[in-house]
Amino acid sequence: MSAFYLGPTIASFIYSLTSYPIIAKPHWIGWRNYGDVFSDGQFHSALKVTTIYTVGSVAVYLLGALGMALLCNRRLPGVGVIRTILFIPSLVPVFAMAVLWGWMFNRDFGIVNYAFHAIGLPQQGWFQSEGQALWMCIAVSFWTIGSAFVVFLAGLQSIPQHLYEAITVDGAGPLRKFWHVTLPMLSPVILFNLVIGIILSFQVFDIGWALTNGGPGNATLFYVLYIWRVAFQQFQMGYASALAWILFLIIVAVTVLIFRTARYWVHYEGRS
């Protein structure tokens, strides 16, 4: 199995050092592709858009999932059904979900603009608006938080109840319980979901391609979507491979930074 992963990985690095137009043999050019990145305006635009999306979607991913987990971490009638309903959207393929959102929020025939018109509100451009498209993509990412929700819920249920009992005896209210017990004990789970969320967000492709195809005005030109354009529309496979390796290095650098800072805010039970 390693050949199916290691082989393409090595090949992509070799191609990143070549000029490879796909329809012709690759030509060795050394590190020129990596140097060309710094003068590529599209690269800087794609990196900026992806960074903004990552910050916004990870915030939605963490806060939304944690909020739902806190609400569902109760012994109430029907809570199991509610948990299932909250988790199901994450099982829907991202592309299908994006198409559905595209229909609902279409500027010309979407049901949302129809409802706005019916109640006298101004219609919006949504995904067809340069100022709104990226934020709408971030909003769509809310539907992918089911997996983080399940992990948070498992983490909440693993917190020892005697900790809550002890702090209750000291007169702590719900806010102090959350701040001094729930968050510290949940910090390893937060770390896990944070890293996964950042990795997934930096690799976003389906939402941007299905809803806006990078537009309008490159407002949703995500990094991986730009790699796809360079490779399969401009036929510059060598340069696309270099862009892919740069993305890999960015993700590694961000992940290492998070783990380096984790010792200051992540608490592991039983560690001295």
Tokens 């930074």, residue located: 257
* Amino acid 6: pLDDT: 85
What is the Cα 191 distance to its own chain's centre? 15
* Amino acid 213: pLDDT: 86
* Amino acid 270: pLDDT: 57
- The rounded distance, in Å, linking the Cα atoms of 144 and 18 is 37
Tokens 């510059």, residue located: 236
* Amino acid 8: pLDDT: 86
What is the Cα 179 distance to its own chain's centre? 26
Cα angle 221-48-66, degrees, rounded to a multiple of 5: 95
Q: For the whole model, what pTM was predicted?
A: 0.92
Q: At what angle do helices 183-202 and 237-262 cross, to 10 degrees?
A: 170
CATH value of 44-237 in 1.10.3720.10, 3.20.20.70, 3.50.50.60, 3.40.190.10 = 1.10.3720.10
* Amino acid 2: pLDDT: 67
Instruction: Single out the residue of 55, 73, 54 nearest to residue 65, CA to CA.
Output: 73
pLDDT in tens, the chain (272 residues): 666 778 889 999 999 999 999 888 999 999 999 999 999 999 999 999 999 999 999 999 999 999 999 999 988 888 889 899 889 988 888 888 888 899 999 998 899 999 999 999 999 999 999 999 999 999 988 888 899 999 999 999 999 999 998 998 888 888 999 999 999 999 999 999 999 999 999 999 988 888 888 888 899 999 999 999 999 999 999 999 999 999 999 999 999 999 999 999 998 865 54
* Amino acid 272: pLDDT: 46
- The rounded distance, in Å, linking the Cα atoms of 178 and 181 is 6
If DSSP states are collapsed to H, E and C, what string results for the chain? CHHHHHHHHHHHHHHCCEECCCCCCCEECCCHHHHHHHHCHHHHHHHHHHHHHHHHHHHHHHHHHHHHHHHHCCCCCCHHHHHHHHHHHHHCCHHHHHHHHHHHCCCCCCHHHHHHHHCCCCCCCHHHCCCCHHHHHHHHHHHHCHHHHHHHHHHHHCCCHHHHHHHHHCCCCHHHHHHHHHHHHHHHHHHHHHHHHHHHHHCCCHHHHHHCCCCCCCCCCCHHHHHHHHHHCCCCHHHHHHHHHHHHHHHHHHHHHHHHHHCCCCCCCCCC
